[in-house]
Amino acid sequence: MPGLSCLNPLRVHFTVFLPMNKKASSVHAGAMSVADSSPAPQANAQTLLSQAGTLHSLKAIGVSSIADTLCGRHHSKDFSYARGDYLRGRVTVIAILFLVLLPFWAVLDFFLLPDDTRSYTLVGRIFMMAGLVLAVFLARGSAGRFNRARVSAGLLFFLPAAFYVLVLFALTRHPGTHDLVGYSFIPYMLVVMLSLFPFTLIESGVVGAVLLLAQGASQYLTGNWFTAAGLQESWLLFALLTIALTSNYFHLGLLLRLYREATHDPLTGLLNRGALAHSLDQALQARGDKQMALLMMDLDHFKRINDQYGHPVGDRVLAEFARLLRQVAGKNDFAARYGGEEFVVVLTQATRAQALETAERIRAQAEITPVTDHHGRTLNFTVSIGVAMFRPGETLEIVARRADERLYEAKKLSRNCVVGA
């Protein structure tokens, strides 16, 4: 039958009915094969399991590292969306603040700048205001579009830096006025601004390098190149940049840890239900004409594993299945623990055939994935999967309901199945 893949292994099946969410719902238990292997000494096994559990806990809560803060290549899609939200909010506030201050700054130009430079700076300020309006526009429309949020943040730094260079060249015919008009503070201001944003170290480093070049151009035009005063200015700017980069490291690292603790299941390291809904909402906004699919999964007879082997072994099964989902899901896909032994994977670029193929791969891989209990014995588990495609205008709740209906069909058939429309 199209969209249906089932196996009927010789296993014992039974169903236990428990109340859940004030409604009677069936909790499936059973289906497990146990193969005796040569048990290792119990103390050594427990030590190894403890070490593995500690390592898994560190990964689950997201201990920050240089790799996490150096660039965004290691960031998940959901965290990129969250970081885009932070960038959007900060860009909007600071750009509006600049727009409010620009007219007052233009009045100061009238009193401080030489007469023949006002036309240059006036045009520069007009372009700067237009650019700031564009930055606000891009930021406000960047939901689900992380690169647009980055562009808006880049404009916020590029526009004042470009205006600074413009003023430098406008004042080349007026020696000695550079310090008088007080524009030399702009590079320092922009470097300090870096610490306000959750930039990666590479992003801040690129901006800082541009500002150091602008500072060097300023010293060359004013005759401070390689003088004691010029070296002091460069050292101050470099010191501020170092502080800003350190701030970015702790800022982004803290944001990563807090985000993961708030949005990820501590046992499996996958997204929790609320974070899945939020991330998927942004993905749907940026969906375009891409086909998307939802895989609803439930571990077969999971209660029997807990009853027979204890909850620590059951937790190990959940963690092992989560590891499998992370391996199968692509960089742009979402994997989440939906509740209990239920899991969800959202494929953001998949046809119906590709979604069924991915679901079957998960089912087949789960069946042969071993888990070791406290005595060194190996046990196996199976999973039932329901597949549903996103239709135009549908929310997560609607698609999840259809996928859950197909999951129920898989449970009725024989479990260890994939059922899709």
Please, what are the domains in the chain? 4-61+268-420 (3.30.70.270), 70-263 (no CATH)
Q: Is the pLDDT of residue 364 over 50?
A: yes
- From the number of C-beta atoms within 10 Å of its C-beta (0-12, 13-18, 19+), residue 342 rates as middle
Q: How many CB atoms within 10 Å of residue 219?
A: 20
Higher pLDDT, 97 or 421: 97
Reduced to 3 states, what is the DSSP secondary structure of residue 123? helix
- pLDDT for res 174: 61
- pLDDT for res 177: 52
169-193 per-position pLDDT tens digit: 776 666 555 454 557 788 899 999 9
Report d(CA 298, CA 317) in Å as an integer. Answer: 12
Q: How many CB atoms within 10 Å of residue 367?
A: 16
- pLDDT for res 182: 58
Q: What mean pLDDT value characterizes the chain? A: 80
Q: Tell me which residue has tokens 């990666």.
A: 200
DSSP letter string, 249-266: HHHHHHHHHHHHHHHB-T
Q: Chain-centre distance of CA 86, in angstroms?
A: 12
Residues annotated as catalytic are: 341
Higher pLDDT, 228 or 238: 238
